[in-house]
Structure formats: structure tokens, C-alpha cells
């Protein structure tokens, strides 16, 4: 078994933001393979986040982002469990990055559960209609329509979008990693995006 060096642990910590001991353990378990260690930390982070998901997130902050030139602005409410975590630089940076994501991608809702049901039904009907034009069997038509709907969710739901700073991760992954680092349940509650000249 290869010896894990302090510089490897430090590099993994810088790349993931996870604590030193967890980084060392992940590197030991993966024989020093950096990419495998990152994957391992993501998996264990999701497990830890799932355990924290039911806990009350009654604190937090309203983050903001104004795009250069002042043409686009975003306010976003992100909740956590304690005022202590809400005041940390890490949490503030998360709020700002999420606000920046909203400014760049203009999602319709935080997640699919928050979408207007009428809008979802309209999209479903449109994709089904498009698929029926292919004159394929009904079960194939349904698969095509469902696939297009899933792709649409990934565009319009903030938590399902590819993260603008690292498109290999989803926004939900970024939040999960913050839960792991900060040790509290974190919930993106709501956001508002303003764009100059846009009709309300």
C-alpha cells in the first residue's frame, strides 16, 4: 500500500473543501488515487447530507448578486440550521455562487416540486405531441417524451442544473458538499431574478 503524503491530503482538501482527516481516509481507501478519492468523498457526502436532510433549517441568509453593468440582479434565500453557520465565509460564498448561477441560467424554480403544475403539463403535452409525429409505437413515444421532459427539468430547475463553475457537477452536488463541510442541513428556499427591461 502506498504511503499518503501531506501534500496529497492538502491537494484533495483544496479540491473538495472536505476536512483533512476525511481526505486522508479517502486517499488511504483508494490507494492514493486522487480522482477515486474525490468520487468516494462525494458518495459519502451524499449519504451524510441525506441523514441531515430532515433537520430543521430555520436560519440562513439572503444572498445577492448583481451582474457587471447592473442589468441583472438576483436575491436568493438559503437556509441552514444555526446562525453560527449562516455567518461563515463558506456559507456566504455558497449563497453568492448560487445567486450567480441564477443570474447566468435563469431557472424557473428551485426544484421540480416547486414548478407550476400547469407549466409541467404543457411541456409534457408538447413533448408527447412532438414524439407522436415520429410515428413510432406508443411505448417508444412515451420514452421519447419522458426523456425530453427530464432534459427540460435539468434546464429549468436550479438544483438539477449543471453548475456554471464546474459543469461536471450539478447544483445539488454543490449544496450536498456544503452540507458535508459545514455539518448542517442546507436548503435553497427561493430566489428572485431581475433583468432590466424584462416584463413582470
With residues binned 3-state (H G I as helix, E B as strand, rest as coil), the percentages for the chain, rounded to 5, are 55, 20, 25
Q: What is the pLDDT of residue 51?
A: 54
Give ∠ CA 74-50-53 in degrees, rounded to 5: 55
Q: Rounded distance, CA 38 to CA 149, Å?
A: 30
Residue in 100, 52, 101, 106 with CA at minimum distance from that of residue 79 = 52
* pLDDT for 7: 85
Residue with cell 435563469: 106
Chain segment 38-53, per-residue pLDDT in tens: 888 777 765 555 555 5
The SS3 call for residue 98 is helix
**Ranges in the chain, pLDDT < 50:** 1
Question: What residue ranges define each of the domains in the chain, with the CATH number in brackets?
Answer: 6-52 (1.10.8.10), 59-111+157-195 (3.30.479.20), 116-155 (1.10.286)
pLDDT at 15: 74
Spatial separation of the C-alpha atoms in residues 170 and 172, rounded to whole Å: 5
pLDDT at 45: 64
At residue 1, the pLDDT reads 47
CB 12 within 8 Å of CB 26:
yes
Over the range 37-62, which residues count as b (16 or more CB within 10 Å of their CB) and which as e? bbebbbebbbeebeebeeeebebbbe
Supply the pLDDT for residue 14: 73
Amino acid at each position: 500500500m502506498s504511503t499518503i503524503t501531506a501534500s496529497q491530503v492538502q491537494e484533495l482538501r483544496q479540491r473538495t473543501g472536505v476536512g483533512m482527516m476525511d481526505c486522508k481516509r479517502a486517499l488511504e481507501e483508494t490507494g492514493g488515487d486522487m480522482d477515486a478519492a474525490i468520487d468516494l468523498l462525494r458518495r459519502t457526502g451524499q449519504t451524510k447530507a441525506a441523514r441531515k436532510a430532515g433537520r430543521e433549517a430555520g436560519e440562513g441568509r439572503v444572498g445577492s448578486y448583481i451582474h457587471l453593468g447592473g442589468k441583472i440582479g438576483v436575491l436568493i434565500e438559503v437556509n441552514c440550521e444555526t446562525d453560527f453557520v449562516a455567518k461563515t465565509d463558506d456559507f456566504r460564498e455558497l449563497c453568492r455562487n448560487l445567486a450567480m448561477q441564477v443570474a447566468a441560467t435563469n431557472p424557473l424554480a428551485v426544484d421540480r416540486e416547486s414548478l407550476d403544475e400547469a407549466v409541467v403539463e404543457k411541456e409534457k403535452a408538447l413533448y408527447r405531441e412532438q414524439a407522436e409525429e415520429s410515428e413510432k409505437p406508443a411505448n417508444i413515444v412515451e420514452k421519447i417524451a419522458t426523456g425530453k421532459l427530464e432534459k427540460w427539468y435539468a434546464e429549468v430547475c436550479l438544483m438539477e442544473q449543471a453548475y456554471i463553475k464546474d459543469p461536471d457537477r450539478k447544483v445539488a452536488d454543490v449544496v450536498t458538499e456544503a452540507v458535508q463541510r459545514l455539518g448542517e442541513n442546507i436548503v435553497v428556499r427561493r430566489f428572485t431574478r431581475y433583468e432590466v427591461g424584462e416584463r413582470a
